[in-house]
Amino acid sequence: MDVPEEIGHSLTDWCARQIPEGEREHRRIGFVVRDGTVTISDRRAPAQPELDVEWSSTPLARLHLDDAGHWTLYRPDGRGWTRTSDGPDPIALLEAQAPA
């Protein structure tokens, strides 16, 4: 199931609020959507930009939207992803267990 456009806007706003404005030059929270799954990651600027221009990306959470429009939140546990909560509002799931 495709992620609704309004959810994408809400996720963009939520991600932006996770990092104080003064830190955004070096760190960001972002997301990627693929096949009804949203992966939220902590992105950091390279420590030595002269050696590496790529930002690092560490997955923090995954949200999966099922065919009934219900969301499930997963967290990395060192071996994979563990289901932590379910609900109709992905932002509420994230707020309850903020990854940042």
pLDDT at position 100 over 70? no
Phi-psi region of 39 (alpha: psi -120 to 50; beta: other; left: phi over 0): beta
pLDDT of residue 26: 92
Output the six-digit token pair for 92: 């509420």
Q: What residues contact residue 36 under an 8 Å CB cut-off, 6+ apart?
A: 1, 2, 3, 64, 65, 66
**Domain extent listing, the chain:** 5-96
Task: Give the residue among 25, 89, 31 at the shortest CA–CA distance from 59.
Answer: 31
pLDDT for the residue numbered 46: 87
**pLDDT (0 to 100) of residue 98:** 60
For the segment 12-26, what is each residue's pLDDT rounded down to a tens digit?
999 999 999 999 899
Residue 99, pLDDT > 70, answer no
pTM: 0.86
Task: Reduce the DSSP state of residue 84 to 3 states and report it.
Answer: strand
